[in-house]
Structure 1
Amino acid sequence: MSERKKLGRGGKIAIVVAVLTVAGIGGTFAAVGPLETAPVGSEAASPVRSQPGTAFPVVKPATAATTPSAGAKEVNPAVPVKVTVTDGTIDNVSLRSSSGQDVEGAVSGSRTEWTSSGQLAFNSTYTLSYTTLDLAGRTSSATSTFATVTTKNEADAAMYPLDSMSVGVAQPIQLTFSEPVTNKKAVEKAITITSTSGQTGAFHWFSDTMVRYRPETFWAANSTITVKMDLFGVDLGNGQIGNFSKTNTVRIGDKRTAVADAQAHTFTAYVNDKPVQTWPATMGDTRFPSARGYLVLMEKQRKAHFVAASIGLKPGDPANYGELDVEYATRLTPSGEFIHQATDNALPYLGQINLSHGCIGLGPDGAAWVFNNMTAGDVVQVINTDGDYANFDDGFGDWNIPWAQYANG
């Protein structure tokens, strides 16, 4: 029941006293002003009110942005997945691979952002599902998918020496990549190499797929090198992404070195800088002079089979030795230089003349001592030879490069 009276010619009616009951809110209140019908969808028409008689502002729906975006391809699996909400909060999030593996994540304290913490896989499709709450408590759900870097853009690397391997003081750390690297600085930044001796070193790129690391002087004897490779997700360039992170250790043994003198025809071995013994030797002749400089020992073969054709010798060549077997062979270069027991016809000339095809020939005692006491990473310095330095890819010729040049390569 209400009481009204006319006001003027306009025919509008003013409310003098009104008794209203608002749905869900009990009580009465007085209102003064024109009585007009509020349009549907306006603030006044909203059933949500902050206090009796006053309407809430319109509540914006919560909006969400995702990283990566829906439908993205070639997504770097190292980049965290995120759901960020505006005008609301996160209710729940699910990230699952097409193979059914769930990826863990966490919501921020304000519940406005979810970030993945688990590692994604290469060449996989993921479904990201999430539900948000706006400030009025209304829920909204959405789903999107994306795919990570495919196999063709996945890059691997192999390290030498192998993990936990024991080597000599001259062994560089070598990484060989499955794909060319153009972002070399990014790769170097992702690799941390430390030594218990406190020695630091430098990287030197010999090609786009191979880099080595060594200190200015030989590694300290009986030290340990730790190689931490955080290459997972690193952009190597041209869309190639590193696919692993791991830490390897390398153990350095005693300092075992030798000096081979092509003019004096001698081979002298040292352990921790103390001479062990000097043996008579024969080295490369004038046609095949032994390589000069530092040669790092690589592998050992108790018996090795040599084929002259492998170094380009043909039938009719006076230097062609056909095929022969040798004892106690320790490799110096992939191209075929060894320390080994001299052949029977060369033994009488040890300490007198050079007549090999570049190898260092020793008597049975000297060759056996090298084989039994020296190992990969130990080093022989060849002096007084007419031979050139071995190519960088023909073994580990790193120590023949001046430090200033090596550290800037």
Structure 2
Amino acid sequence: MRIMGDRREGGRLKPSQRWLGSGWIGTRSGKIISLVAVLVVAALGGAFAAVGPLQASPIGSEAATAVRTQPGTAFPVVAPASAQTVPVTGAKEVNPSAPVTVTAAGGTLDNVSLRSSTGQDVEGTLDTARSVWTSSGSLSFNARYTLSYTTLDGAGRTATATSTFATVSTANEADAAMYPLDGMNVGVAQPIQLTFSEPVKNKKAVEKAITITSSSGQAGAFHWYSDTVVRYRPEQYWAARSTITVKMDLFGVDLGNGQIGNFSKTNTVHIGDKRTAVADAQAHTFTAYINDKPVQTWPATLGDTRFPSAKGFLVLMEKQRKAHFVAASIGLKPGDPANYGELDVEYATRLTPSGEFIHQATDTAIPYLGNANVSHGCIGLGPDGASWVFNNMTTGDVVQILNTQGDFANFDDGFGDWNIPWAQYANA
């Protein structure tokens, strides 16, 4: 029986033909064209699971491709590391006390540096995970900085970046001066005064940044006389022979209106013996005390009815062995009966910037000591009393003036802090 389509030679299949399902297919050099067979099998199976013979060598992980910067067909895909800086690049008026940070996401940090435009390096530290760098050194005012860093991701890729910013300008830099000066020896009535170069709006923030302690354990309170002047004193006089420590952490403190404090330092003030005095305008006397014990009482003359001495407590400010007084400085003009022109006095101890002193009475006033008030507001004493005050009392000691018709001295006319009731002083 002859099979249709059978091509035989001598009853055998030709070497160039093979039976494949429903027909014959030729081969070359006796080899099966396997591609067709594979496609047929895949079609019958409904999937390409049998394409094994077509697979090339395995595709490597992106981890082995350090130069890849965009996700591709490689697997697994490792996203590039990123970093965030504080302050952001281009920032201006940066507070120099605020720490500078670099925080990496999806990787770690390396080679972080922070340098000013003048070449000064700022130190910093990396956390244990090497993902956050934080500056540890202070910055300078009115300076430009460059922050450089390198990130390393899980694929071993590195990327280097820089960020620049500028700190608070000189126009927004605020300073302050303290009185008494550091290391100064003063009396028990001396308040601590800070005078700021710029108005202070954030007063509570400033108070919080200043810590004042006494070796005697005395606590005190701040009292703001203006936006630029604040003083601090205890309820009672400072304890004799105590030490006051004033720690001012004002660097970077926001005073308000963009003004930033530019310093931090600690000052000490030494308190001496308690030296006080009482001047009585009615009794025409001046009595001195040391540690609450009376030393001596001298006859005195105080301000007359036209120029009464200021009342209350006046703190001694400075001393001049010889002082030159000018009547015109208190508004007196030629022809005025009270005009004394110009004169020099001995042993002058200042009570107010406006011109009240304790001093040796002039020759014309000496006969009135202990009898009448003839001065222009000063406390006049004889040579012995005036020289004793000059030689034994000092800045920060206090005189209480009684029975005068004068008013309290202005807050900015010396240190009249002790004339303010404590409840009012501590809550202003």
TM-score of the pair, normalised by structure 1: 0.91
Alignment of 1:15 with 2:50, yes or no, is yes
Aligned-pair distance for 1:349?
A: 1.2
**Residue in structure 1 matched with residue 316 of structure 2 by the alignment:** 297
**Residue in structure 2 matched with residue 391 of structure 1 by the alignment:** 410
Larger helix proportion of the pair: 2
The CA distance in 1 between the partners of 2:111 and 2:300, in whole Å, is 77
Q: 1:178 aligns with which of 188, 197, 205?
A: 197
- How does 1:221-260 map onto structure 2 within 5 Å? 221-260=240-279
Partner of 1:339, secondary structure, is: strand
Alignment of 1:140 with 2:159, yes or no, is yes
**Identity within the alignment, %:** 78
The farther-off stretch of 386-395 and 4-13 is 4-13
Aligned-pair distance for 1:62?
A: 0.6
Alignment of 1:110 with 2:145, yes or no, is no
Partner of 1:187, secondary structure, is: helix
**Residue in structure 1 matched with residue 222 of structure 2 by the alignment:** 203
Aligned-pair distance for 1:144?
A: 1.3
Aligned-pair distance for 1:15?
A: 2.7
**Residue in structure 2 matched with residue 92 of structure 1 by the alignment:** 111
Q: 2:356 aligns with which of 334, 337, 342?
A: 337
**Residue in structure 2 matched with residue 400 of structure 1 by the alignment:** 419
Partner of 2:389, secondary structure, is: helix
**Residue in structure 1 matched with residue 102 of structure 2 by the alignment:** 83
Aligned length, in residue pairs = 384
Partner of 1:207, secondary structure, is: coil
Alignment of 1:285 with 2:320, yes or no, is no
The CA distance in 2 between the partners of 1:252 and 1:192, in whole Å, is 18
Structure 1 spans left out of the alignment, 5+ residues: 26-40, 47-54
- How does 1:296-375 map onto structure 2 within 5 Å? 296-375=315-394
Q: 2:145 aligns with which of 105, 119, 126?
A: 126
The CA distance in 2 between the partners of 1:386 and 1:358, in whole Å, is 11
The CA distance in 2 between the partners of 1:286 and 1:395, in whole Å, is 22
**Residue in structure 2 matched with residue 263 of structure 1 by the alignment:** 282
The CA distance in 1 between the partners of 2:279 and 2:367, in whole Å, is 18
Gap change, CA 1:262 and 1:129, over 3 Å in 2: same
Aligned-pair distance for 1:136?
A: 1.0
**Residue in structure 2 matched with residue 29 of structure 1 by the alignment:** none
Q: Does the 8 Å CA contact 2:91/2:165 hold for their aligned counterparts?
A: yes
Q: Which amino acid aligns with 1:114?
A: W
Q: Does the 8 Å CA contact 2:71/2:79 hold for their aligned counterparts?
A: no
Gap change, CA 1:355 and 1:154, over 3 Å in 2: same
Gap change, CA 1:264 and 1:9, over 3 Å in 2: same
Alignment of 1:155 with 2:190, yes or no, is no
The CA distance in 2 between the partners of 1:149 and 1:200, in whole Å, is 35
The CA distance in 2 between the partners of 1:92 and 1:342, in whole Å, is 76
Q: Which amino acid aligns with 1:318?
A: P
Q: Which amino acid aligns with 1:15?
A: A
Alignment of 1:67 with 2:82, yes or no, is no
Note the aligned Cα RMSD (angstroms).
1.9
Aligned-pair distance for 1:22?
A: 3.6
Q: Which amino acid aligns with 1:151?
A: T
Q: What whole-Å deviation, never above 9, does each CA across 1:37-62 have from its counterpart, x for those lacking one?
A: xxxx876x32xxxxxxxx42x10111
**Residue in structure 2 matched with residue 28 of structure 1 by the alignment:** none
The CA distance in 2 between the partners of 1:291 and 1:138, in whole Å, is 79
Aligned-pair distance for 1:23?
A: 7.0
The CA distance in 1 between the partners of 2:71 and 2:402, in whole Å, is 95
Aligned-pair distance for 1:13?
A: 5.4
Aligned-pair distance for 1:317?
A: 0.4
Structure 2 spans left out of the alignment, 5+ residues: 1-30, 62-69
Partner of 2:204, secondary structure, is: helix
Partner of 1:74, secondary structure, is: strand
Aligned-pair distance for 1:365?
A: 0.4
Q: Which has the larger radius of gyration?
A: 2
Partner of 2:424, secondary structure, is: helix
TM-score of the pair, normalised by structure 2: 0.87
